[in-house]
Each structure stands twice: as C-alpha cells, then as structure tokens.
Amino acid sequence: MDYIIVPLYEKMYLNANVVIERIKAFVDTGGIKISKNAVCRPYLTSTRSLKKHASGNKSMNTDLKNILLRVPTPQFIWCVDFMLPTKDSLLTESRVIIDATAGTYESEPWLLYHDHEHVVYFDSEVDKWYRHDICIEPYEIYRNNLMEY
C-alpha cells in the first residue's frame, strides 16, 4: 500500500470526509444538476491559483468567469468539479467551491456553485446569495498541480 501525508494550512478546518459527505447530500437533494456519467473530482487549492486559471480559460463561459473572479473567497478553498469524460479530453460541467476555512459544523460552507443552467454564489461582503440563470457549456478542467504523470 502507498500512503501520502498532506500538510494543510493551519486555518483549514473542513476536512475531505466532510466535504465528500456534504457534496453527496447536495447532489442527492437536487441542489446541483449533474449528468449521470459525470465524474466527481474534489481537490484543495488556493483561490489565487483557481482564479488565475479561470482568467486564462478560453473555454469557460464569460459570465461565469467574471463572477468567479469577483466573488470574495478565503485563501484556500475546496473545489468539487463534476467532469464529463469524452474520448479526447475531460471537461468540467459543474463546480462547487467550498470555504476550506469553514468549521466542520458550519451548515453553509458553499461559496459558489454552478451547473449547466445557473450560477449561485454568496457575497460575504453584503451577506447575500445571488443566482444567475446562465447556459454554461462544459469547459477545460483545472489542472495546475494536479497534472497527470
């Protein structure tokens, strides 16, 4: 067996098991629409890295990109991408961004989520949720330090 130990930033309180459980419940209750053949891909990343990738992602919907670049987020976030495997590549069809600094018992750690019909995000500066009905086509997946070998 192989193991890996990943040191986390001291302010990260939300662990992977909790994220996975909450995502399963979110999908099961219809909070986000995903395709039946979608692959769930959770990962931890910095906001700076994700936003840098989004700004250069030519296949990402412009409205989604603008919202993602503007939404206030902590330094580290959990992302859960639902990807569509195609014969040539993997494309993100839906994404959930979660506050990695949220407490384990915090009921609403969501920062932004989208599927192919809408984008929903929380603006912590005004303490308000927003929903935009936008048709979002699948786009290039985030790789950064998640490159294949």
Tell me the pLDDT tens digit for each residue of 47-71.
Answer: 999 999 999 999 999 999 999 999 9
pLDDT at 148: 58
- Structure token pair of residue 106: 């915090």
pLDDT at 149: 46
- Total domain count for the chain? 1
**103 in a structural domain:** yes
What SS3 state is found at 98?
A: strand
**83 in a structural domain:** yes
**114 in a structural domain:** yes
The pLDDT confidence band at residue 2, using thresholds 50, 70 and 90, is: low
pLDDT at 143: 86
pLDDT at 86: 79
**Max CA-CA distance within the chain?**
48
pLDDT at 26: 93
- Structure token pair of residue 123: 């603006």
**10 in a structural domain:** no
pLDDT at 145: 64
User: Over 60: is that where the pLDDT of 37 sits?
Assistant: yes
d(CA 47, CA 106): 20
Rounded to an integer, the average pLDDT of 27-47 is: 93
Domain region containing 28: 16-140
**149 in a structural domain:** no
Mean residue pLDDT of the chain comes to: 89
**42 in a structural domain:** yes
Instruction: Enter the pTM of the model.
Output: 0.88
- Structure token pair of residue 7: 């040191």
| pLDDT tens for each residue of 86-133 | 777 889 999 999 999 888 777 779 999 999 999 999 998 899 999 999
**145 in a structural domain:** no
**5 in a structural domain:** no
Q: What are phi and psi of 86, to 5 degrees?
A: -120, 170
